[in-house]
């Protein structure tokens, strides 16, 4: 859990914000969409313990749940 907290802190320091939580093929498509729109995007797998009630269906379907973090790229780069 300490490693997860460290990653979240680094994302926050880098200006990344939580955009959504999803499962299946949707997170990959969502990340691609954000990148096409000029955003940086980061995909993080979520453990069942972190997500509690949202995992009931996903555990039955054996799908991984992901958090998607995004940050607008600096237009002056």
pLDDT (tens digit per residue) in 13-55:
888 998 988 888 889 999 999 999 999 999 988 877 776 666 5
Which of 29, 77, 28, 22 minimizes the C-alpha distance to 46?
22
Q: In what order do the strands lie in the sheet with 65-72?
A: 17-23, 65-72, 39-46
Domain-wise residue ranges, the chain: 2-72
Higher pLDDT, 57 or 52: 52
The pTM score is 0.73
CA distances in angstroms from 10 to 1, 7, 40, 41, listed in the order given:
14, 5, 14, 14
């Amino acid at each position: 859990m300490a490693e997860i907290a460290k990653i979240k802190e680094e994302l926050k320091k880098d200006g990344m914000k939580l955009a959504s939580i999803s499962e299946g093929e949707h997170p990959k498509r969502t990340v691609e969409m954000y990148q096409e729109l000029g955003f940086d995007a980061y995909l993080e797998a979520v453990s069942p313990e972190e997500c509690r009630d949202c995992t009931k269906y996903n555990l039955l379907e054996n799908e991984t749940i992901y958090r998607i973090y995004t940050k607008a790229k600096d237009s002056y780069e």
